[in-house]
Amino acid sequence: MKILVVGSGGREHALAWKLAQSERVQTVFVAPGNGGTALDRNLKDINLSDPAALADFALQEHIAITVVGPEVPLAAGIVNLFRERGLKIFGPTKEAAQLESSKDFAKSFMQRHHIPTAQYQTFSDLKAAHAYLDTHGAPIVIKADGLAAGKGVVVAMNIAEAHAAVDMMLSDNKLGDAGARVVIEEFLSGEEASFIVMVDGKNILPLATSQDHKRLLDHDLGPNTGGMGAYSPAPIVTPELHARVMREIIQPTVQGMAKDGIVFTGFLYAGLMIDEHGNPKTLEFNCRMGDPETQPIMARLKTDLVNVMEHAVNGTLDSIALEWDRRTAMGVVMAAAGYPDAPVKGANITGIPHDTSDCITFHAGTSLNGGQLSVSGGRVLCVVGLGDTVKSAQKHAYDVVEQIQFEGAQFRKDIGWRALNRKH
Ligand SMILES: Nc1ncnc2c1ncn2[C@@H]1O[C@H](COP(=O)(O)OP(=O)(O)O)[C@@H](O)[C@H]1O
Ligand SMILES: [Mg+2]
């Protein structure tokens, strides 16, 4: 059968790489793909990204299942469009994707269904927003309502920063429509984890746990990024906490969406904040897999992903179990010079070794021209090491990172530090 993966990042390379391992697959198309998917002889890039053009392609090519990586086409309704045309696709409808595409939607949904999350209020009026800040004080968190590619959240540690964030969004319109409404919410402290499940509308299949690193620099310093590395499993998510997150957050979310008449299908990603007593709260929902969490998660998945996707689009996820490599997978992102503010494109990339049983290099912002691989985006590569211990996974990843060269490459040297510190 033929499969289509929509997207061009490291997440999509990892999904396509895993889908292509299935013996049932004839071709995995990636639209539009990147330098890594172009190099992989098991994958075929197609230069399309418009949802209607993709649906035409899927019909022509008799694509059995389409898997969507990023949030933007989901929020634009690619799933609605494919289904109207009789095509099987894994992802949420435009309506269900509001869990990610509108922070206000997600917050009022959580409040209505008693899902633990920070206290909040939503504003479009500038004066009212400033007054709320004055009443509540700092630290406090200001979030643009709409999709902002990771640039829509300000965690204000003092009140001046909080007022500036509200001005930036509501009065200077720096984020456009996405910032025309803001959610102002209570600051939560603790440790973050990513909790990702697959949902077929009713049944829920949890993926392996993971944790990412948002800040650019070692010791979690510097600006926020799309993610500089991630690993799986996340030792903070104990079996007890896992059960609790399923019971208090994931199940009520899936049931609540169905109750509200917006059946959720697709990957559901809850960004969690776990406080010092081990209580989880939901920071946000994403309606897709995380990037870079996907890369270490796919590196550990042993089950045939095509079978899993087939159950997912047919509503039978209750009849499949996932099997995981017991090793730790540690993904280290190599980013372009100037990332995240102004990534420099064009540098040639050399030294990527062949994948082995303990290290895989996934591409993100790379392109292949006449056999030469070069930098074409902010996050360039994600090198995933596997090992019996966190330490050996980390070593396998960094041994390969050190071999790869491009001008101005940035990467953190401490990916996995939380897991390493948590000695058991
Ligand atoms: N209520 C909160 N308290 C403390 N930190 C928060 C809170 N909400 C978000 N953050 C921090 O900001 C980051 C981004 O917020 P998030 O809601 O995940 O938005 P997005 O991923 O869309 O930018 C989180 O990963 C977390 O580090
Ligand atoms: Mg987030």
> Considering Cα of 416, then 422, then 423, then 424, what sign does the dihedral take?
negative
Sites in the chain below the pLDDT cut of 50: none
pTM over 0.85: yes
**CA 23–ligand 2 middle distance (angstroms):** 35
Cα 141 to Cα 16: distance, rounded to the nearest angstrom: 36
For the chain, the domain total comes to 2
Q: Which atom of ligand 1 is nearest to the CA of 224?
A: 13
Q: Is residue 389 part of a domain?
A: no
Check if 150 has its Cβ closer than 6 Å to any atom of ligand 1: yes
86 and 132 share a domain?
Answer: no
pLDDT of residue 423: 60
Residue 173 lies in a domain: yes
Whether residue 18 is contained in a domain is answered as: yes
Do residues 13 and 85 share a domain? yes
Residue 312, class by beta-carbon neighbours within 10 Å (0-12 exposed, 13-18 middle, 19+ buried)? buried
Instruction: Give the CATH number for residue 159.
Output: 3.30.1490.20
Q: Which of 92, 114, 138 lies at the terminal end of a domain, its last residue?
A: 92
Q: Phi and psi at residue 317, in whole multiples of 5°?
A: -65, -15
Does the beta carbon of 291 lie inside 6 Å of ligand 1? Answer: no
Does some domain include residue 174?
A: yes
Give the domain-ending residue among 92, 115, 145.
92
Residue 215 Cβ contacting ligand 1 at under 6 Å: no
Residue 394 corresponds to which tokens in the numbers above? 């980390």
45, part of any domain? yes
Answer yes or no: is 364 within a domain: no
Q: Does the beta carbon of 155 lie inside 6 Å of ligand 1?
A: yes
187 pocket-lining for ligand 1 (C-beta < 6 Å): yes
Tokens of 375: 């930098």
Last residue of a domain, one of 92, 115, 149: 92
Domain of residue 16, residue span? 2-92
Cβ–ligand 1 contact at 192 (below 6 Å): yes
In terms of domains, do 73 and 135 share one?
no
Q: Which pLDDT belongs to residue 172? A: 85
- The number of the ligand 1 atom at minimal distance from the alpha carbon of 271 is 18
CATH assignment at residue 57: 3.40.50.20
Whether residue 243 lies inside any domain: the answer is no
Q: What is the 271 CA–ligand 2 centroid distance (Å)? A: 6
* 16 domain residue, yes or no: yes
pLDDT of residue 424: 53
Q: Which residue of 184, 221, 283, 418 sits with most ligand 1 atoms within 8 Å of its CB, as the best mutation to test the pocket?
A: 283
Residues 22 and 86 in one domain: yes
| Residue 141 in contact with ligand 1 by CB distance below 6 A | yes
Element (H, E) at 398: helix 390-401
Q: How far apart are CA 273 and CA 335, in angstroms?
A: 26
Pocket test for ligand 1, best of 183, 284, 286 (most atoms within 8 A of CB): 284
What residues pack around ion ligand 2 (CB closer than 5 A)? 271
Q: Which residues pair with 31 in a beta bridge?
A: 6
Statement to judge: residues 133 and 88 lie in one domain? no
CA distance linking residue 79 with residue 69, whole number of Å: 12
* Residues 6 or more apart in contact with residue 190 via CB below 8 angstroms: 273, 274, 275, 276
